[in-house]
Amino acid sequence: MGNFKNKVKIGDRYVGEGEPTYFIAEIGNNHNGDYYLAKRTIEEAVKAGADAVKFQKRFIDQTFAKELREKPQTKDQVLGKTYGEYRQALELSLDEFKKLKKVAQDLGTTFFATPFDKKSVDFLEEVGVDVYKIASFDATNLPLLEYVAKKGKPMILSTGMTSLEELDEAVKTIAPLNNQLVILHCVSVYPTTDERLNLATIPFLRERYKPIPIGYSGHERDYAPTLAAIALGAKCVERHITLDKSLPGPDHATVSIDHLEFKQMVDEARRIETALGKPGKHLFEEEMKTREKHSKSIVSKVKISAGTPITADMVICKSPGYGLKPRRLPEVIGKKLKKDVEEDTVLTEDHILWA
């Protein structure tokens, strides 16, 4: 399915096999339309270990039909009485986006955003983003996928609310236009309870869409499941971040972790990455001292005279483990000793007449 890369370069980092987990701090709308809150959140996200900070961009009349824009805003009227007013209040200007991008760049972090309509893609092109995120809402919006894919920049695709057939269709739409894709397992339930997280989807997606890197966009209240996602192979993690869960807005209290929790998550994830190590069975030098003391060797059960053929009832397996290994018992039985050995002697190569 396409000629996709197994590593996707975002800024000066790669997302994919053999690379550290790439952490995206989803600021989204948690700036509440306030440039300075957005700036402070970027600063704290960087301190917390975020590799990238992500915002959202909508042109309200391009994203929402009139009937939705005019619906009363029932959740919280601080930012507007209608849904359209509320959404408009969350939008930042082009100048503010450009300044925020510079803030992120100066701190060594990648800045990008999710466009929800084609006009927003053009807006972000003017900002100069290097990567695009496609929200779960738009995984089935094939015209938008095509429009973004043609920009030739890395794409990150969330998969909440999509069937497997729809996800296949999205990937097939992108494939002939762009080979730089990261897919995020996501469940669009806000917040997501443990029984709905279905993290087993991550290895399933890794196999189905190989070699595309698979990640995780989480909406749980804490970060323990995110660490499990990393252990299951998620190479990119996106989590909503807030400076204060008590702020008004849809995401602060429900699906966000604060900047201190974000740092704890990153630190614990780095520990998990170290603990996961590399595939294969490794025997470490530090294990050898314990191995020599506690693994088993072939030991004489009785005194055995030189030249006497060894029988099974003459030997036993005991620690320490520097002698002949128990797996060599069939070789030892029937052989003769070069010299007398006392009862309870660890047998080594030098004790046996092998010829």
Residue type, 34: D
Q: How confident is the model at residue 329 (pLDDT cuts 50, 70, 90)?
A: very high
Task: Flag whether pLDDT at 306 surpasses 70.
Answer: yes
- Token pair of 78 as six digits: 């601080």
CB 45 within 8 Å of CB 38: no
**Helix count and strand count (H, E) for the chain:** 14, 15
Give me the percent of the chain exceeding a pLDDT of 90.
Answer: 86
Q: Within a 10 A sphere around the Cβ of 210, how many other Cβ atoms?
A: 13
Q: How confident is the model at residue 112 (pLDDT cuts 50, 70, 90)?
A: very high
pLDDT digits (tens, 9 = 90+) for 32-41: 889 999 999 9
Higher per-residue confidence, 234 vs 248: 234
Q: How confident is the model at residue 216 (pLDDT cuts 50, 70, 90)?
A: very high
> Under DSSP, is residue 330 helix (H, G, I), strand (E, B) or coil?
helix
| pLDDT computed for residue 90 by the predictor | 87
Residue reference for tokens 């088993």:
296
Q: Give the integer Cα–Cα distance in Å for 94 and 210.
A: 37
CB 230 within 8 Å of CB 267: no
DSSP H helical ranges for 107-188: 118-127, 142-149, 164-174
| pLDDT computed for residue 4 by the predictor | 97
Please compute the mean of the pLDDT values over residues 255-284 and round it to a whole number.
Answer: 94
Element (DSSP H or E) covering residue 273: helix 259-276
Q: Tell me the CA distances in angstroms from 143 to 54, 138, 173, 230, one per residue in order.
A: 22, 10, 9, 32
CA atoms within 13 A on the CB side of 99: 11
Nearest to 79 by CA among 42, 124, 37: 37
> CATH assignment of 9-276, given 1.10.1040.50, 3.30.420.40, 3.20.20.70, 3.20.20.140?
3.20.20.70
**Inter-helix orientation angle 94-106/118-127, to 10°:** 50
User: What are the structural domain ranges in the chain?
Assistant: 9-276, 285-353
pLDDT digits (tens, 9 = 90+) for 262-275: 999 999 999 999 99
pLDDT digits (tens, 9 = 90+) for 229-247: 999 999 999 999 999 998 8
Higher per-residue confidence, 248 vs 197: 197
- Token pair of 353 as six digits: 């007449």
Q: How confident is the model at residue 1 (pLDDT cuts 50, 70, 90)?
A: low
Task: Flag whether pLDDT at 333 surpasses 90.
Answer: yes
Task: Flag whether pLDDT at 183 surpasses 80.
Answer: yes
Q: How confident is the model at residue 44 (pLDDT cuts 50, 70, 90)?
A: very high
Please compute the mean of the pLDDT values over residues 286-312 and round it to a whole number.
Answer: 95
pLDDT digits (tens, 9 = 90+) for 143-165: 999 999 999 999 999 999 999 99
Task: Flag whether pLDDT at 248 surpasses 90.
Answer: no
Task: Flag whether pLDDT at 186 surpasses 80.
Answer: yes
**Inter-helix orientation angle 35-47/259-276, to 10°:** 30
- Beta-bridge mates of residue 82: 72
CA 304-305-311 angle, to 5 degrees, is 45
Q: Find the range with the poorest average confidence among 72-76, 126-130, 193-197, 212-216.
A: 72-76
| pLDDT computed for residue 75 by the predictor | 66
CA 147-149-151 angle, to 5 degrees, is 80
Q: Within a 10 A sphere around the Cβ of 72, how many other Cβ atoms?
A: 11
CB 299 within 8 Å of CB 321: no
CB 348 within 8 Å of CB 334: no
CB 39 within 8 Å of CB 53: no
User: Is CATH 3.30.70.580 correct for 285-353?
Assistant: no
| Mean of the per-residue pLDDT values of the chain | 95
- What are the φ/ψ torsions at residue 196 (nearest 5 degrees)? -105, -5
Q: Find the range with the poorest average confidence among 60-64, 215-219, 313-317.
A: 60-64
Q: Within a 10 A sphere around the Cβ of 155, how many other Cβ atoms?
A: 22
